[in-house]
Amino acid sequence: MPSYTVDVEVKSNGRAVTNGSDDSNGSIRLEKSTIGCGSANIVWHKCSVEKIDRQELLQQKGCVIWITGLSGSGKSTVACALTKALHARGKLTYVLDGDNVRHGLNLDLTFKAEDRAENIRRIGEVAKLFADAGLICIASAISPYRKDRDACRSMLPDGDFIEVFMDIPLCVCEARDPKGLYKLARVGKIKGFTGIDDPYEAPLNSEIVLQQEGEVCPPPEAMAEKVISYLEAKGYLQA
């Protein structure tokens, strides 16, 4: 994550002024104070209401369901089917869709490799907060690189990151091409498109793998039920 620099002037009355000041009386100037990750001047403030209390209130356990796969594999469709089915069971969920977060939280990011990594890191951090709040957070993002997915997994306690691999062949995803992106990538109008001229690193040990049955893809509701069965078996649908 990039660092940002600002000029800060700390006045004798304790006020801080950025971008300089003509009044140098009793002031100390800190040139290019760095604001970014790794600061030694921040301390975690613990609250008396913790994750276990929120889970008891909601009667569920917070976790992150991370749905990964190629564009067109059905990630968003399954995420919506899953949140609908869990909502019907009285469970509180929230979907972090890879496209949706780029409309706000990640509006400043491109599709360069370093920005893709930052995109996934931010989604992972937000998903972690939702899980800590006791929600079942469903993150739906291509997230093509194992190291980025593994980094998100490492943010959460063991078992609270549930990776769901949409193992749908490239030819099927490209035939669907719901956004017309594969067609643009094939003619060179989109560069670095996952599956075409940029790699997708399939998960090696996902908790759940959703696949076609022969040449037929199960309906999203059936795929969602498979995820729900896993959550039930692992005790996430009760406090």
Query: Residues 161, 131: contact at Cβ < 8 Å?
Result: no
- Residue 28 in this model has a pLDDT that exceeds 90: no
The residue with greater pLDDT, 227 or 12, is 227
Catalytic residue positions? 143
Minimum mean pLDDT range among 10-24, 43-57, 139-153: 10-24
Give pLDDT, residue 39.
73
The SS3 of residue 75 is helix
Average pLDDT over residues 106-113: 94
Quickly state the pLDDT bin for 34 (edges 50, 70, 90).
Answer: very low
- Residue 147 in this model has a pLDDT that exceeds 80: yes
- Residue 148 in this model has a pLDDT that exceeds 60: yes
Residue 77's alpha-carbon distances to 72, 73, 80, 168, 181, in angstroms, are 10, 9, 5, 13, 17
Query: Residues 52, 118: contact at Cβ < 8 Å?
Result: no
Give pLDDT, residue 21.
37
- Residue 65 in this model has a pLDDT that exceeds 50: yes
Cα gap 27→193, rounded to integer Å: 52
- Residue 25 in this model has a pLDDT that exceeds 60: no
- Residue 32 in this model has a pLDDT that exceeds 70: no
Average pLDDT over residues 12-29: 38
* CA nearest to 69, candidates 144, 153, 150, 2: 144
Cα gap 130→55, rounded to integer Å: 12
Average pLDDT over residues 181-201: 96
